[in-house]
Protein backbone atom coordinates (compact mmCIF):
# COMPACT_ATOMS: atom_id res chain seq x y z
CA UNK A 1 0.00 0.00 0.00
CA UNK A 2 2.70 2.39 0.96
CA UNK A 3 4.62 1.46 -2.15
CA UNK A 4 1.65 2.23 -4.35
CA UNK A 5 1.24 5.63 -2.69
CA UNK A 6 4.86 6.40 -3.18
CA UNK A 7 4.63 5.39 -6.82
CA UNK A 8 1.56 7.55 -7.36
CA UNK A 9 3.21 10.50 -5.65
CA UNK A 10 6.26 10.10 -7.81
CA UNK A 11 4.11 10.02 -10.93
CA UNK A 12 2.23 13.12 -9.84
CA UNK A 13 5.44 14.93 -9.07
CA UNK A 14 6.88 13.91 -12.39
CA UNK A 15 3.79 15.14 -14.22
CA UNK A 16 3.84 18.39 -12.25
CA UNK A 17 7.48 18.92 -13.03
CA UNK A 18 6.91 18.21 -16.70
CA UNK A 19 3.96 20.60 -16.77
CA UNK A 20 5.92 23.28 -14.99
CA UNK A 21 8.80 22.88 -17.39
CA UNK A 22 6.44 23.06 -20.37
CA UNK A 23 4.53 26.06 -19.02
CA UNK A 24 7.41 28.05 -17.60
CA UNK A 25 8.68 31.00 -19.62
CA UNK A 26 11.29 33.67 -18.84
CA UNK A 27 10.98 37.15 -20.37
CA UNK A 28 14.10 39.32 -20.28
CA UNK A 29 14.21 42.89 -19.09
CA UNK A 30 14.34 44.41 -22.59
CA UNK A 31 11.57 42.12 -23.93
CA UNK A 32 7.81 41.88 -23.75
CA UNK A 33 5.73 38.73 -24.22
CA UNK A 34 2.62 38.52 -26.38
CA UNK A 35 0.45 35.46 -25.61
CA UNK A 36 -1.71 33.82 -28.27
CA UNK A 37 -4.38 31.54 -26.77
CA UNK A 38 -5.95 29.32 -29.36
CA UNK A 39 -4.90 31.80 -32.03
CA UNK A 40 -6.26 34.90 -30.32
CA UNK A 41 -3.97 37.47 -28.79
CA UNK A 42 -4.49 38.20 -25.14
CA UNK A 43 -4.67 41.87 -24.23
CA UNK A 44 -2.31 41.50 -21.29
CA UNK A 45 1.29 41.71 -22.37
CA UNK A 46 3.67 39.70 -20.21
CA UNK A 47 6.35 41.79 -18.56
CA UNK A 48 9.94 40.83 -17.80
CA UNK A 49 10.55 37.95 -15.40
CA UNK A 50 9.11 34.46 -14.87
CA UNK A 51 5.70 33.70 -16.38
CA UNK A 52 3.54 30.62 -17.10
CA UNK A 53 1.50 29.68 -20.13
CA UNK A 54 -0.85 26.76 -20.80
CA UNK A 55 1.12 24.14 -22.68
CA UNK A 56 -0.45 23.24 -25.98
CA UNK A 57 -2.96 26.08 -25.71
CA UNK A 58 -0.92 29.24 -25.31
CA UNK A 59 1.94 30.38 -27.48
CA UNK A 60 4.28 33.13 -26.27
CA UNK A 61 6.09 35.43 -28.69
CA UNK A 62 8.80 37.71 -27.37
CA UNK A 63 9.33 41.19 -28.82
CA UNK A 64 12.57 43.13 -28.40
CA UNK A 65 11.91 46.65 -27.08
CA UNK A 66 15.46 47.96 -27.59
CA UNK A 67 16.40 50.62 -30.13
CA UNK A 68 17.29 48.94 -33.40
CA UNK A 69 19.98 50.34 -35.68
CA UNK A 70 19.15 49.52 -39.28
CA UNK A 71 21.40 50.60 -42.17
CA UNK A 72 19.56 51.65 -45.31
CA UNK A 73 21.19 50.35 -48.51
CA UNK A 74 22.61 53.01 -50.81
CA UNK A 75 19.97 54.40 -53.14
CA UNK A 76 20.83 55.95 -56.50
CA UNK A 77 18.64 58.72 -57.80
CA UNK A 78 18.49 62.01 -59.67
CA UNK A 79 18.16 65.24 -57.72
CA UNK A 80 15.85 68.09 -58.62
CA UNK A 81 18.70 69.87 -60.43
CA UNK A 82 19.41 66.74 -62.56
CA UNK A 83 22.49 65.40 -60.78
CA UNK A 84 22.93 61.66 -60.30
CA UNK A 85 23.85 60.82 -56.70
CA UNK A 86 24.10 57.76 -54.51
CA UNK A 87 22.92 58.20 -50.92
CA UNK A 88 22.86 55.82 -47.98
CA UNK A 89 21.41 56.34 -44.51
CA UNK A 90 20.80 54.73 -41.15
CA UNK A 91 17.51 54.44 -39.21
CA UNK A 92 17.10 54.20 -35.43
CA UNK A 93 13.72 52.84 -34.28
CA UNK A 94 12.14 50.88 -31.44
CA UNK A 95 8.88 49.00 -30.72
CA UNK A 96 6.47 50.86 -28.44
CA UNK A 97 3.50 48.46 -28.74
CA UNK A 98 4.42 44.79 -28.76
CA UNK A 99 0.94 43.58 -29.72
CA UNK A 100 0.67 45.89 -32.74
CA UNK A 101 4.20 45.00 -33.88
CA UNK A 102 3.16 41.31 -33.97
CA UNK A 103 -0.44 41.60 -35.18
CA UNK A 104 -0.48 44.68 -37.45
CA UNK A 105 2.49 43.77 -39.67
CA UNK A 106 4.05 40.47 -40.64
CA UNK A 107 7.68 41.57 -40.17
CA UNK A 108 8.08 45.06 -38.80
CA UNK A 109 11.86 45.11 -39.43
CA UNK A 110 11.47 44.36 -43.12
CA UNK A 111 8.60 46.84 -43.37
CA UNK A 112 10.65 49.63 -41.80
CA UNK A 113 13.59 48.82 -44.09
CA UNK A 114 11.50 49.03 -47.25
CA UNK A 115 9.78 52.20 -46.12
CA UNK A 116 13.17 53.79 -45.38
CA UNK A 117 14.49 52.96 -48.86
CA UNK A 118 11.38 54.32 -50.56
CA UNK A 119 11.42 57.51 -48.50
CA UNK A 120 15.13 58.03 -49.17
CA UNK A 121 14.61 57.84 -52.94
CA UNK A 122 11.72 60.28 -52.63
CA UNK A 123 13.84 62.72 -50.65
CA UNK A 124 16.61 62.54 -53.27
CA UNK A 125 14.18 63.46 -56.07
CA UNK A 126 12.73 66.40 -54.15
CA UNK A 127 16.04 67.96 -53.05
CA UNK A 128 18.82 69.87 -54.74
CA UNK A 129 22.45 68.82 -54.62
CA UNK A 130 23.35 71.74 -52.37
CA UNK A 131 20.70 70.65 -49.86
CA UNK A 132 22.06 67.11 -49.79
CA UNK A 133 25.56 68.40 -49.11
CA UNK A 134 24.97 71.27 -46.70
CA UNK A 135 21.40 71.13 -45.34
CA UNK A 136 21.23 67.56 -44.08
CA UNK A 137 19.46 68.37 -40.82
CA UNK A 138 16.34 69.48 -42.64
CA UNK A 139 16.45 66.43 -44.91
CA UNK A 140 16.89 64.13 -41.91
CA UNK A 141 13.79 65.58 -40.28
CA UNK A 142 11.76 65.20 -43.45
CA UNK A 143 12.94 61.62 -43.93
CA UNK A 144 12.12 60.77 -40.32
CA UNK A 145 8.60 62.16 -40.71
CA UNK A 146 8.02 60.20 -43.92
CA UNK A 147 9.06 56.91 -42.30
CA UNK A 148 7.38 57.52 -38.95
CA UNK A 149 3.93 58.28 -40.37
CA UNK A 150 3.08 54.68 -41.42
CA UNK A 151 5.26 53.08 -38.75
CA UNK A 152 3.07 54.42 -35.93
CA UNK A 153 0.28 52.03 -36.95
CA UNK A 154 2.74 49.15 -36.67
CA UNK A 155 3.60 49.92 -33.05
CA UNK A 156 7.03 51.22 -34.09
CA UNK A 157 8.51 54.62 -33.31
CA UNK A 158 11.26 56.09 -35.51
CA UNK A 159 13.78 57.63 -33.15
CA UNK A 160 15.95 59.37 -35.76
CA UNK A 161 17.23 59.07 -39.32
CA UNK A 162 20.68 60.13 -40.49
CA UNK A 163 22.04 60.46 -44.02
CA UNK A 164 25.47 58.86 -43.92
CA UNK A 165 27.15 59.58 -47.23
CA UNK A 166 26.46 61.23 -50.58
CA UNK A 167 28.48 59.82 -53.47
CA UNK A 168 28.94 62.02 -56.54
CA UNK A 169 30.28 61.21 -60.02
CA UNK A 170 33.93 62.06 -60.67
CA UNK A 171 33.03 64.68 -63.26
CA UNK A 172 30.81 66.46 -60.75
CA UNK A 173 33.59 66.37 -58.14
CA UNK A 174 36.00 68.00 -60.58
CA UNK A 175 33.43 70.65 -61.51
CA UNK A 176 32.80 71.47 -57.87
CA UNK A 177 36.55 71.70 -57.23
CA UNK A 178 36.95 74.17 -60.11
CA UNK A 179 34.00 76.19 -58.84
CA UNK A 180 35.46 76.36 -55.34
CA UNK A 181 38.85 77.38 -56.73
CA UNK A 182 37.30 80.13 -58.84
CA UNK A 183 35.34 81.42 -55.88
CA UNK A 184 38.44 81.56 -53.71
CA UNK A 185 40.37 83.35 -56.46
CA UNK A 186 37.55 85.89 -56.79
CA UNK A 187 37.59 86.58 -53.06
CA UNK A 188 41.38 86.95 -53.14
CA UNK A 189 41.13 89.53 -55.93
CA UNK A 190 38.44 91.44 -54.07
CA UNK A 191 40.60 91.53 -50.95
CA UNK A 192 43.63 92.74 -52.95
CA UNK A 193 41.55 95.45 -54.63
CA UNK A 194 40.22 96.59 -51.26
CA UNK A 195 43.76 96.74 -49.90
CA UNK A 196 44.88 98.80 -52.91
CA UNK A 197 41.98 101.19 -52.37
CA UNK A 198 42.83 101.71 -48.72
CA UNK A 199 46.52 102.15 -49.54
CA UNK A 200 45.73 104.73 -52.23
CA UNK A 201 43.63 106.74 -49.76
CA UNK A 202 46.44 106.73 -47.22
CA UNK A 203 48.98 107.73 -49.89
CA UNK A 204 46.72 110.59 -51.00
CA UNK A 205 46.54 111.85 -47.41
CA UNK A 206 50.31 111.58 -47.07
CA UNK A 207 50.79 113.51 -50.32
CA UNK A 208 48.55 116.31 -49.03
CA UNK A 209 50.58 116.56 -45.83
CA UNK A 210 53.90 116.56 -47.71
CA UNK A 211 52.66 119.21 -50.14
CA UNK A 212 52.20 121.60 -47.22
CA UNK A 213 55.76 120.97 -45.98
CA UNK A 214 58.19 120.45 -48.92
CA UNK A 215 60.96 119.47 -46.53
CA UNK A 216 58.97 116.42 -45.49
CA UNK A 217 59.48 114.87 -48.90
CA UNK A 218 63.25 115.36 -48.56
CA UNK A 219 63.16 113.73 -45.12
CA UNK A 220 61.20 110.84 -46.54
CA UNK A 221 63.82 110.44 -49.25
CA UNK A 222 66.54 110.30 -46.63
CA UNK A 223 64.59 107.69 -44.67
CA UNK A 224 64.34 105.60 -47.82
CA UNK A 225 68.10 105.90 -48.34
CA UNK A 226 68.71 104.75 -44.76
CA UNK A 227 66.37 101.78 -45.23
CA UNK A 228 68.11 100.75 -48.45
CA UNK A 229 71.58 101.19 -46.93
CA UNK A 230 70.66 98.81 -44.10
CA UNK A 231 70.60 95.89 -46.55
CA UNK A 232 73.99 94.34 -47.19
CA UNK A 233 74.03 94.42 -50.97
CA UNK A 234 75.77 96.25 -53.80
CA UNK A 235 73.01 98.72 -54.54
CA UNK A 236 74.28 102.25 -55.22
CA UNK A 237 71.92 105.05 -54.27
CA UNK A 238 72.52 108.59 -55.56
CA UNK A 239 70.05 110.95 -53.92
CA UNK A 240 69.27 114.14 -55.77
CA UNK A 241 67.71 117.09 -53.90
CA UNK A 242 64.12 117.48 -54.87
CA UNK A 243 64.13 121.15 -54.01
CA UNK A 244 66.82 121.77 -56.63
CA UNK A 245 64.64 120.13 -59.27
CA UNK A 246 61.73 122.34 -58.28
CA UNK A 247 63.96 125.43 -58.44
CA UNK A 248 65.12 124.58 -61.95
CA UNK A 249 61.56 123.90 -63.01
CA UNK A 250 60.38 127.26 -61.70
CA UNK A 251 63.32 128.98 -63.42
CA UNK A 252 62.36 127.48 -66.77
CA UNK A 253 58.64 128.14 -66.49
CA UNK A 254 58.87 131.66 -64.93
CA UNK A 255 58.67 134.89 -67.06
CA UNK A 256 61.84 136.88 -68.08
CA UNK A 257 63.09 139.39 -65.51
CA UNK A 258 62.35 143.09 -66.51
CA UNK A 259 65.22 145.66 -66.79
CA UNK A 260 65.88 147.65 -63.60
CA UNK A 261 64.32 151.12 -63.73
CA UNK A 262 66.54 154.22 -64.18
CA UNK A 263 66.78 156.38 -61.13
CA UNK A 264 65.08 159.76 -61.58
CA UNK A 265 67.22 162.93 -61.05
CA UNK A 266 66.69 164.89 -57.89
CA UNK A 267 64.26 167.77 -58.10
CA UNK A 268 65.71 171.12 -59.17
CA UNK A 269 68.36 169.65 -61.46
CA UNK A 270 67.68 170.35 -65.16
CA UNK A 271 67.66 167.39 -67.44
CA UNK A 272 69.34 167.59 -70.83
CA UNK A 273 67.78 166.00 -73.89
CA UNK A 274 69.72 163.10 -75.33
CA UNK A 275 72.09 164.02 -78.13
CA UNK A 276 72.01 162.58 -81.61
CA UNK A 277 75.07 160.49 -80.86
CA UNK A 278 73.38 159.01 -77.86
CA UNK A 279 70.21 158.36 -79.83
CA UNK A 280 72.02 156.80 -82.84
CA UNK A 281 72.62 153.08 -82.64
CA UNK A 282 76.20 152.01 -82.23
CA UNK A 283 78.06 151.33 -85.48
CA UNK A 284 79.17 147.79 -86.12
CA UNK A 285 82.79 147.11 -85.34
CA UNK A 286 85.01 146.28 -88.31
CA UNK A 287 87.87 143.89 -88.00
CA UNK A 288 91.27 145.51 -88.01
CA UNK A 289 93.22 145.50 -91.26
CA UNK A 290 96.87 144.47 -91.05
CA UNK A 291 99.49 146.44 -93.11
CA UNK A 292 101.62 144.42 -95.47
CA UNK A 293 105.38 144.53 -95.05
CA UNK A 294 107.60 146.14 -97.79
CA UNK A 295 107.96 143.96 -100.83
CA UNK A 296 104.84 141.97 -100.13
CA UNK A 297 101.75 142.14 -102.25
CA UNK A 298 99.42 144.44 -100.49
CA UNK A 299 96.42 142.21 -100.08
CA UNK A 300 94.13 143.05 -97.28
CA UNK A 301 93.95 140.47 -94.47
CA UNK A 302 91.60 140.56 -91.68
CA UNK A 303 91.57 139.10 -88.24
CA UNK A 304 93.76 136.14 -87.45
CA UNK A 305 94.61 135.61 -91.14
CA UNK A 306 96.40 139.01 -91.28
CA UNK A 307 98.32 138.28 -88.14
CA UNK A 308 99.51 134.91 -89.45
CA UNK A 309 100.61 136.55 -92.78
CA UNK A 310 102.71 139.18 -91.02
CA UNK A 311 104.39 136.48 -88.93
CA UNK A 312 105.36 134.55 -92.07
CA UNK A 313 106.86 137.69 -93.69
CA UNK A 314 108.93 138.42 -90.63
CA UNK A 315 110.40 134.90 -90.71
CA UNK A 316 111.21 135.19 -94.38
CA UNK A 317 112.95 138.58 -93.91
Name the more confident of 201 and 226: 201
Q: Which residues contact 91 (CB under 8 A, 6 or more apart)?
A: 69, 70, 71, 72, 112, 113, 116, 147, 158, 161
pLDDT for position 57: 84
Name the more confident of 125 and 18: 125
Q: What is the mean pLDDT of the chain?
A: 76
pTM for the full predicted model: 0.55
Tens digits of residue pLDDT in 57-66: 888 888 888 9
Report H helices in 231-298: 242-253, 276-279
Residue 30 has pLDDT above 50, yes or no: yes
Residue 236 has pLDDT above 80, yes or no: no
Tens digits of residue pLDDT in 180-206: 899 999 999 999 999 999 999 988 888
pLDDT for position 10: 78
The mean per-residue pLDDT over the stretch 124-142 comes to 86
Q: Which residues contact 23 (CB under 8 A, 6 or more apart)?
A: 52, 53, 54, 55
Tens digits of residue pLDDT in 249-259: 887 876 555 54
Measure Cα distances from 226 to 189, 213, 231, 241, 243 in Å.
33, 21, 9, 15, 19
Measured distance CA(34)–CA(94) in Å, rounded = 16
Amino acid sequence: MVGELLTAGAVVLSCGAAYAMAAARVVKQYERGVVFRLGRVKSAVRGPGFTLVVPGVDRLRKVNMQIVTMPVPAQEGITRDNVTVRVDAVVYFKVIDASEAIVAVEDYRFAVSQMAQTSLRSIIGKSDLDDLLSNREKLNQGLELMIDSPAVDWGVHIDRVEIKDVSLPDTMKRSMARQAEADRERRARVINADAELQASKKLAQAAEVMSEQPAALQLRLLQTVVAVAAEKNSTLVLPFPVELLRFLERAQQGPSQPAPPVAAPPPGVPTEPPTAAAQAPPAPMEPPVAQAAPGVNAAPFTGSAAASASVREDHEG
